[in-house]
Amino acid sequence: MKIGIVCYPTFGGSGVVATELGKALAKKGHEVHFITYTQPIRLDFFNENIFYHEVNISSYPLFQYPPYESALAGKMVDVVKYEKLDLLHVHYAIPHATSAFLAKQILKCHGINIPVVTTLHGTDITIIGKDPTYTPVITFSINESDGVTSVSADLRKDTFDTFDIKNEIDVIPNFVDLERFKKHPKEHFKKIICPNGEKLLVHTSNFRRVKRIDDIIKMFAKLKQIVPSKLLLVGDGPERVSMEHLSRELGLEECVRFVGKLDAIEEVLSVADLFIMPSEKESFGLAALEAMACEVPVISSNTGGLPELNVNGVTGFLSNVGDVDDMVKNAAFILQDENLPTFKANALAHAKKFDISQIVPMYEAHYERIVEKVKNQHK
């Protein structure tokens, strides 16, 4: 099958999932065409089945903001026509599903009926979707998609609760590549950070307020009084500067390291003892899954799709949003030498259920069903 994938080419979860899905599909013999404004971060290799098409956005004095949606739709039309795609898979309702609808209408004028699958990842529903300016556009774009998937059952419920959706939504969870995300024997790296055998806590994100990184730092300040430990914060974003100030105010500058964005995050995760995700909202929690695949138990909030991933008392613990004291208590329990090996083993065992080899066939089955549905509609 020839598949066009449209996504945000960034460090965010949706871009990572879309890119890894495309790479996995290409390995299985599908021809995959990425259509984005810059090369996706995780598209770190090419093979004979992977192609990249850049969306060029022209700047004109007339436009205060470049019309990205129109440029994207035009590029979709071009790639579908000349590469003879069988299906477009767009990640995020807006602007990608909206642009896909426009492209589909244009292609109909050329006698081409291109099926469109939209995957909902979270922010397009849980944050942007709450803005009444976008509600009618998101509703329309979802309903006009030929197939719709969401990354968790919670996000599916949120979508139906927020919008007037007539379409079916299939839950296809996020996944992890267990060949890449696994424990690496690099204990020398841990010794650099934890020279005295301290436990290593890790968090990775795009440092937005919804990630509640201040809770991580406050929790760590209390935990290190119970368990000798260090904290590694991986990523970057609008909250980084204020979080650096907070760690200094709490006298933690010697124990907390901000390391910015890292491509080889699995090397850090593989030497971690605990992953922290206290987010106010997570539709799935891909970063936590990648940690679990590296045998790292998780302390997380109990919001969104996290309870579908982090099994309370088994792979880690769930706490109410903002309950720092509960997170401290749970973290201290996991980090006890007699408990940690069991939680690590449980984390890996559960992560195996989300291995990419288990999830990609679900997308392939969805594609085949949608292509057949569209074909039958136009007989």
pLDDT (tens digit per residue) in 164-199:
999 999 999 999 999 889 887 666 778 888 889 899
pLDDT value of position 129: 55
Find the mean pLDDT for residues 245-252.
93
pLDDT value of position 379: 67
Residue 79 in this model has a pLDDT that exceeds 80: yes
pLDDT value of position 126: 62
Axis-axis angle for helices 13-27, 286-293 (nearest 10): 60
Find the mean pLDDT for residues 367-372.
96
pLDDT value of position 62: 73
- For 136, other C-beta atoms within 10 Å of its C-beta total 11
Contacts with 137 (C-beta within 8 Å, 6 or more apart), sequence order = 94, 98
Query: How many angstroms separate the CA atoms of 99 and 91, rounded?
Result: 11
> Counting Cβ atoms within 10 Å, is residue 17 exposed (0-12), middle (13-18) or buried (19+)?
buried
- Structure tokens, 55: 């969306």
Residue 364 in this model has a pLDDT that exceeds 60: yes
Q: Could you tell me which CATH class the domain 187-354 is placed in?
A: alpha beta
Identify the three-state secondary structure at position 150: strand
Asked if domains 2-175+356-377 and 187-354 share a fold, the reply is: yes
Question: Residues 8-12: contacts with CB within 8 Å, 24+ apart?
Answer: 8/36, 8/91, 8/92, 9/34, 9/36, 9/37, 9/38, 9/39, 9/40, 9/41, 9/43, 10/41, 11/41, 11/206, 11/235, 11/261, 12/206
Domain definitions of the chain by residue range: 2-175+356-377, 187-354
Its CATH architecture, for the domain 2-175+356-377, is 3-Layer(aba) Sandwich (3.40)
Measure the CA dihedral 37/43/45/50, to 10°: -70
**Predicted TM-score of the model (pTM):** 0.89
Query: How many angstroms separate the CA atoms of 337 and 73, rounded?
Result: 55
Q: In whole angstroms, how far apart are CA 371 and each of 115, 145, 316?
A: 6, 12, 40
Query: How many angstroms separate the CA atoms of 220 and 376, rounded?
Result: 57
Q: What is the DSSP letter of 7?
A: -
Find the mean pLDDT for residues 267-286.
93
Contacts with 339 (C-beta within 8 Å, 6 or more apart), sequence order = 333
pLDDT digits (tens, 9 = 90+) for 211-247: 999 999 999 999 999 999 999 999 888 999 999 999 9
Locate the DSSP E strands across 151-197: 170-171
pLDDT value of position 56: 86
